[in-house]
């Protein structure tokens, strides 16, 4: 019995020795692969050219490195359709980050032929169950509804994709930090979009948000302050100059009028009269004053509709801006 036990132990020891020697050989081989065979320098991966190059002497050790990343470039429709090895990029704008399967709404097969009534019925059942599986718990259903709201409002306001992505990230953080109890999904989604637009220097006024949102202005402002405070978001005060290009474009003003409006706002900042005043009102007044200075026909009513503020505000503010400019010219 003792002889059998001794032989078993010796066999296990030999197996361990063989395994350790193989692992040491693999480690030495990996070290040799990471070192230049000519000068012993460090090797780096050049992903742009698909090469492995020595940092010291520039020797190309390998020139057929496989690019394991996705290939997004496509120059025509046939190239775009031939990219079978890649999928859509992940995005924060979808509740599942775009990783789940989507069943198209077209009732056609892979050859473009219409499905039979029986097959259409089966596909409809598959779509129903697919939607149920994609939103299996309340958190995912909440996220899906909120991100849909963000996308709808951003489209109505003409906001770019980077703003939607940022708003989606803000909402996800609020959901993960359990900030939603006691607040509506639409209110938090609107506040996230408002903050994201300001962070991206493409701000929209509260009145504009209220028009496309399903919550009123009071709830929006209250929720926005709460989200910014709890998530510690660093959002600068809105700059009136950021509104000028959009207002000037919608009023079809010249580049000279836009430059003049920007200069009026800069002069106002230097004198400090912008403090405590609505940036939207100042921007609208600057655009109207600039149109007067460049002899372009724009009425206060037209500016009021574009900026969504009262004509009284425009009258009061544009006079202040012109007084500041007159004072700077005299000085």
Domains of the chain: which residue ranges?
Answer: 138-231, 240-329
- 171 pLDDT above the threshold of 90: yes
Domain 240-329 superfamily per CATH: Cyclin-like (1.10.472.10)
Would you say 64 is a known binding-site residue? no
Q: Which residue has the tokens 């939207």?
A: 280
54 annotated binding-site participant: yes
At 297, the pLDDT band (50, 70, 90 cuts) reads: confident
**Per-residue pLDDT for 85 more than 60?**
no
- CA distances in angstroms from 218 to 22, 93, 236, 308, 310, listed in the order given: 70, 26, 21, 17, 19
* pTM of the full structure: 0.62
More confident residue, 134 or 287: 287
Residue 36 token pair = 């230049």
CATH 1.10.1060.10 for domain 138-231, yes or no, is: no
Phi, psi of 44 (to 5 degrees): -125, 155
Question: Which is more confidently placed, 50 or 147?
Answer: 147
Residue 145's CB: how many other CB atoms inside 10 A?
Answer: 15
For residue 59, report the phi and psi dihedrals to the nearest 5 degrees: -65, 130
Q: Which helix (H) or strand (E) holds 176?
A: helix 161-176
């Amino acid at each position: 019995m003792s002889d059998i036990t001794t032989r078993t132990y010796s066999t296990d020891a030999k197996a361990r020795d063989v395994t350790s020697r193989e692992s040491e050989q693999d480690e030495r081989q990996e070290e040799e692969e990471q070192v230049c065979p000519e000068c012993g320098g460090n090797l780096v991966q050049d992903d742009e050219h698909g090469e492995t190059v020595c940092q010291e002497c520039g020797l190309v050790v390998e020139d057929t490195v496989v690019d394991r990343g996705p290939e997004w470039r496509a120059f025509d429709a046939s190239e775009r359709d031939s990219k079978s090895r890649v999928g859509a990029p992940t995005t924060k704008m979808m509740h599942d980050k775009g990783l789940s399967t989507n069943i198209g709404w077209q009732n056609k097969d892979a050859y473009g032929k219409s499905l039979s009534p029986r097959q259409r019925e089966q596909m409809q059942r598959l779509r129903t169950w697919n939607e149920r599986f994609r939103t299996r718990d309340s958190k995912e259903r909440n996220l899906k509804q909120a991100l849909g709201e963000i996308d709808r409002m951003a489209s109505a306001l003409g906001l770019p994709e980077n703003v939607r992505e940022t708003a989606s990230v803000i909402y996800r953080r609020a959901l993960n930090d359990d900030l939603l109890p006691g607040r509506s999904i639409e209110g938090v989604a609107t506040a996230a979009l408002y903050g994201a637009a300001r962070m991206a220097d493409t701000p929209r006024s509260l009145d504009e948000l209220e028009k496309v949102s399903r919550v009123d202005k009071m709830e929006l402002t209250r929720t926005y302050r709460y989200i910014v405070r709890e998530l510690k978001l660093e959002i600068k005060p809105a700059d009136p100059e950021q509104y000028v290009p959009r207002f000037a474009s919608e009023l079809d003003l010249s580049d000279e009028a836009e430059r003049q409006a920007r200069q009026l706002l800069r002069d106002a900042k230097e004198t400090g009269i912008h403090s405590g005043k609505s940036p939207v009102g100042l921007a609208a007044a600057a655009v109207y004053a600039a149109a007067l200075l460049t002899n372009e026909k724009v009425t206060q009513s037209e500016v009021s509709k574009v900026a969504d503020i009262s004509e009284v505000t425009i009258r009061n503010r544009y006079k202040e801006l012109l007084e500041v400019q007159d004072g700077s010219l005299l000085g």
